[in-house]
Structures are given as structure tokens and as C-alpha cells.
Structure 1
Amino acid sequence: MFTESLARTIFGRLTFESFPIHEPILLVTKYKLWGWLWTEWFTTVDHKKIGIMYIILGIIMLLRGFADALMMRLQQAMAFGGAEGYLNAHHYDQVFSAHGTIMIFFVAIPLVVGLVNYVMPLQIGARDVAFPFLNNLSFWLTVAGALLVMVSLFVGEFSRGGWLNYVPVTNLQNSPDTGPDYYLWALQIAGVGTTLSAINMVVTIIKMRAPGMTMMKMPVFCWTALCSNVLAIAIFPVLTGAFALLMLDRYIGTNFFTNDLGGNPMMYWNLVWI
């Protein structure tokens, strides 16, 4: 007869009661909510739900960015005199770069885009954004970029070139590891998502205002959203293009940002700070 003592003998303390069902993923699995999440949230085209998901993504990545900040401050507190601290220079550079990248591209931008997604269509009297499916696609492209940054914690390394992946630190000669590659793929994918989202927001504001609402009657928040997204449309394609050129330098041996065959590392700086 299968008694509790026999179960403990066979499985030890690995009983069902010992599982941490308070954890979100296990809790969703136990109550069979994956189907509901898929239909009601993951594949939704409702601008309010997508805005909430952007904000959740920003908060989750904020925790990672905050952890990196704590690691940097702890290293600075421990590395004094002749002590190296608990991180070597190579690892510290990765933490420093990951912190800046996450806080700018995967915390600040998702939080702002999420707020605009939720509030702006309501303020102009639109039922939704101009391109609802594109709105969902933009979100998941951003999530894909964030996942690549997180994967670099466990597989490979991360860039040591700062939050903009500066050349020549990240060219193939100085960084032959996979760290800059994680950065470039993550930022290119997320950059495409941000560009598509910005186009969506601009078209929504220009073409989907309620009857009688002229541009001069729009709330100040909508004007802020319009100006911010116009800037994003101007900036992110250039930034993404610069990353693509650096990938070509690393993968197929071109010389856009090298000192050979007419290349110029300063051109990278000019493009990313345009």
C-alpha cells in the first residue's frame, strides 16, 4: 500500500506540497491559465493590454538593471587599495554595459511606449491604434531583444563596449567573444520594434483623432507623444543601421568602422549619436 512514509522513502521531500506554487509560472501552470494568457494577452491587439505588457516588461527589466547597479556599487566598495574586488575588470565591463543598455533600451523606452499605448488613443478618442497587429508585433520584437540580453547571462558573455557598444572596443580584433553579438542582435531586433511602434503612434495621432479635434486641440500629452515618436522614427533606423554595419565588420570582414581600407571608427560614434 502506497503510504505517506513510503512516498517519503522513495521521493524524500520532493512531494507536491514542496513545490513553490507561489511562483508565477508554476501558479499559471497549476490553474491551467496558459490558454487564457495566450488568447487574452499574448496575442491581443487591444492597445490598453499591450500598454500594460510594455510596462510589465519595463518593470521586470528594471529589476535586472537595478541588480547590475548593486553589483557595480558593491564592486566599487570592495575594490580599494590593493584589492581587486569580487569582479575582474572583464566581468565588471560587461555588468556596466548591460546596466546602461537595459536601463535605456529595455526600461525607459518600454515604460514610455507602454504609457503612450495606454493613454494616447483614449485621449484622442480613437478605438485603437492605427495598426493593431503591428502594435502587438512591435511589443514582441522588444521582448525578443530583452530575452537575448537576459540569455547572455547564462550563455556566452555580454558586450564590454558600454551602453552604445563603442568601437573599437567591440570590433572583432578587440572582442572576439560573443558578447558584442548578443548586444547587436538584441538592439537590432528591439530597434525594429521601437521604429514600428513609433510609426504606429504617429499615424494614429495624425489620422485617427475624434471628429472636431484639431491638432491644436490635442492634449499636451499627445503632443509629447507625437514629438517623441517623430524623434524615434528619425533616430532608430540610423542606430539600427549602424549596428548592422558593425555586424558586417564582425561577420564578413568589411571595414566600415576599422582603420583599414578607408574605414573610420569615428563614423560609428557619429551615427549612434546622430
Structure 2
Amino acid sequence: MKWNEFIITGDPLILGAQVSIALVSIGIVVLLTYTKKWKWLFKEWISSVDHKRIGIMYLISAVLMFFRGGVDALMMRTQLALPGMKFLDAQHYNEVFTTHGTIMILFMAMPFVIGLMNIAVPLQIGARDVAFPFLNNLSFWTFFMGAMLFNLSFVIGGSPAAGWTNYAPLAEEFSQGYGINFYLLGVQIAGIGTLMTGINFFVTIMRMRAKGMTLMKMPMFTWTILITSLIIIFAFPVLTVALASCHLTGYSGQHSLHWQTVVYR
């Protein structure tokens, strides 16, 4: 792999994103260093196992991803409203469409719901915290790293362009760039974090309710979270296997899902 294939140069959109990310990152580091907030940030937030703080971090991540996905939506609508401008070529449009759908479903809607889960569920069932506080923190940072890895694909190797559903064989034969690997790794890592969250909240609701609170006395929101946790527990292992199969296919060259699009779906 050549360096110029990994770090894309010459494209104005990608170059602008690279410069913006670099400047924002430097600005954050300088601000935290100048205000001497590194210790406070690590102690109070990064390493916190308090369910309310973790819920707030999920909500902040959801808001950031909302703006990120919103920019993609504006870019697509601009191209559709003014096609003569050629604001986006066909490849860029596919990339923006893919990232927009994935971000809004997996990296915006999901952390928003999980953030509400963290803040509300322990309070509603009378628990001091979730069943596994450290696992709760680990779940968030696993999800966050997956989201960042997916978003970095735009400036490193090129965004995925196989649609947000990433169907085979489109994602195998016709998406040979490095962007599809970022899609698979990012979604898979974030999915593992979400799976841990589902297990954590299922155990929390089943084992840590206040004395006298039966299942039939639980608030409706807690019931929805219990069902959501069950869906996560059963669905995400299947998603993980499918993503792992696609990822291994990319490395081995053996198109294991070449004719099994329905199976992948």
C-alpha cells in the first residue's frame, strides 16, 4: 500500500476536512493544557463509572454525530437541488450517502437512546447504579472509538461507498477501497460496545430493582429498555459475525458472501 493511497490528497473536500480536524484537535489540546484540565477531564469524565455522567457523554456524542450527519444531508440536498453545479461527483455522492445513513442510525439515534437509558433507568427502578459500572464505561469508550474510526475514513483512505446497509456483493466486489474496511471495523467495534450495554441493562433491570418493584410495576420506559436490551443481545452477535465475514473476505479474497446476499440481509 502506497502512502498516497492511504492519505488522500488533492481533493478540496478531503483536504479541508483534514485541515479542520487537525486545527480543532490542536485547539482542544492547547485549551486543556492552558486551563490545566487534563486531570479533571480524566478523573471526572473519561474514567467515570457514574451512570448519569456516562449518559451525558452518550448524549454529547449523539449531538456531535447529529451535526456530522446533518452536514452530509446538506451536501446531498445541495447536489440534488443544484445538479448543474456538480458540487459532488458520483463517487462522492455515494460516499456521503453511505456515511449519512450509517451515522444517523448507528452513531446518532443509538447513543441518544443509550444516553437516556443510562440517565433514567437506574433512577426509575431505584438502583444506585447499573449492574456493571466499569463495563458501562468500557461500553461507551468502545462505542466512541468505533464511531471515530468510521468518521476518520473520510480523510484516511476514503469513505465507504457501498450504501449504509453495506450489502454484499456490492461491499465486496465493487468497494475495494480502504473506506469499506473502516466501515466494517468502526461498526463492528461500536456494535461490541452496544452489545455490552444491552447485557448490562438487561441484568440491571432484572436484578437491581428496588424491593417491592415487580416487573408489572416498572415504568413503561423501563419496559421498552428491557425489550430493547433483549433485541440488542440477540441481534448484535449476528451483525458482528456478518461484519467479520465481510472483513475477512476483504483480506482473503474469498467472496464468502458473493452469492449469499439474502443470507447477509
Q: 2:54 aligns with which of 38, 50, 54?
A: 50
1:67 aligns with 2:74: no
Query: How far has the Cα of 1:84 moved from its partner?
Result: 6.4
What secondary structure does 1:170 align onto?
helix
Unaligned runs of at least 5 residues, structure 2:
1-22
**Aligned residue in 2 for 1:109:** 110
Write the distance in 2 (CA, Å) between the matches of 1:84 and 1:27: 39
**Aligned residue in 2 for 1:265:** 261
Contact 2:66 2:104 in 1 (8 A): yes
Q: Choose between structure 1 and 2: higher helix proportion.
A: 2
Q: Which has the higher contact order (CA 8 A, sep 6+)?
A: 2
**Aligned residue in 1 for 2:96:** 95
Write the distance in 2 (CA, Å) between the matches of 1:137 and 1:162: 29
Query: How far has the Cα of 1:257 moved from its partner?
Result: 0.6
State how 1:1-274 maps to structure 2 within 5 Å.
Answer: 25-79=29-83, 83=84, 85-171=86-172, 173-259=173-259, 264-269=260-265
Unaligned runs of at least 5 residues, structure 1:
1-18, 270-274
Contact 1:129 1:200 in 2 (8 A): yes
Write the distance in 1 (CA, Å) between the matches of 2:134 and 2:35: 28
The structure whose Rg is larger is 1
Q: Deviations over 1:107-160 (max 9, x none)?
A: 000000000011100111101100011000000011001111221121111211
The percentage of counterpart residues that share the same residue type is 49
Query: How far has the Cα of 1:28 moved from its partner?
Result: 2.6
Scaled by the length of structure 2, the TM-score of the pair is 0.87
Q: CA RMSD in A?
A: 1.6
Write the distance in 2 (CA, Å) between the matches of 1:189 and 1:161: 19
